[in-house]
Amino acid sequence: MARSKKDSRLYNKDFIDSCNNAVNGIVYSATTQTNIRKQIVLGVMVMILSLFYNFTTSEFLSLTIAIFFVIFAELINTAIETVVDLLVDVYHPKAKIAKDVAAGAVLLASINSIIVAYFLFFREAKLLELSNSIFKTMASSNAHLAMVGIILTMFAIIVVKAMTDGRNNFKNVEKHAHFIPSGQSAIAFALLTAIWINTKNLFVFCLSLTLAIMVAGNRVSTKRTFAETLFGAFMGVLVVTLVYGLTIVNM
């Protein structure tokens, strides 16, 4: 049976449309849920703090997983609460159970993040490492710096989208009624900047630049204006440059 035009809104047209809808869900949650905003702020602070520690790859992966796991649990909690509120408009014991269980998942994820933070940041050896490194040597791993820069770029895009678009993303508003920077362009040019700083290879840079421009061009030809795409690209370059610049200044 062919899908009606009305039902087609429930399905993603392609992979890019699927990614955009996923970002819209994160932006909506960040706009409407105070807890997610707090978690994003804490995530940014922890990522910046990690620059002052020489974490191993496994330690940095544990930290990143802990941060995203808390936000993931909060997103699931928001989705469950929304569905329950849609189906039940009066108090019901099972509706309360569903919400409480979802909140319990967030609590467990938060406890896990606290345990990870303790072992990574607050043990005596780690505090000594911080006191010896702060304002002298920051993270020496280029991969660490690159990942922190890209993660901070992602958080910055979510915050800016929440500020500029917010709840209007889920209302019947004109497509370009609000200035919404391109997240894909931001990530593409953040990667480009990290590649250039780490390799200093003109050939690799030109290949990366070509791919970044293709991503930006695709955004202009679809849903984003040139200004929105340019702003996103500038944001990606700026965040990664600041991360590496902060490291150079304090070495």
Q: Looking at the annotation, which residues are catalytic?
A: 74
Indicate the helix (H) or strand (E) that contains 20: helix 15-32
Give burial (CB, 10 Å; 0-12/13-18/19+) of 142: middle
Q: DSSP for 81-110, please give it.
A: HHHHHHH--S--HHHHHHHHHHHHHHHHHH
* Residue 5 amino acid letter: K
Give burial (CB, 10 Å; 0-12/13-18/19+) of 233: buried
- Whole-Å CA distances, 190 to 21, 131, 148, 209, 251: 22, 30, 11, 11, 22
Give burial (CB, 10 Å; 0-12/13-18/19+) of 196: middle
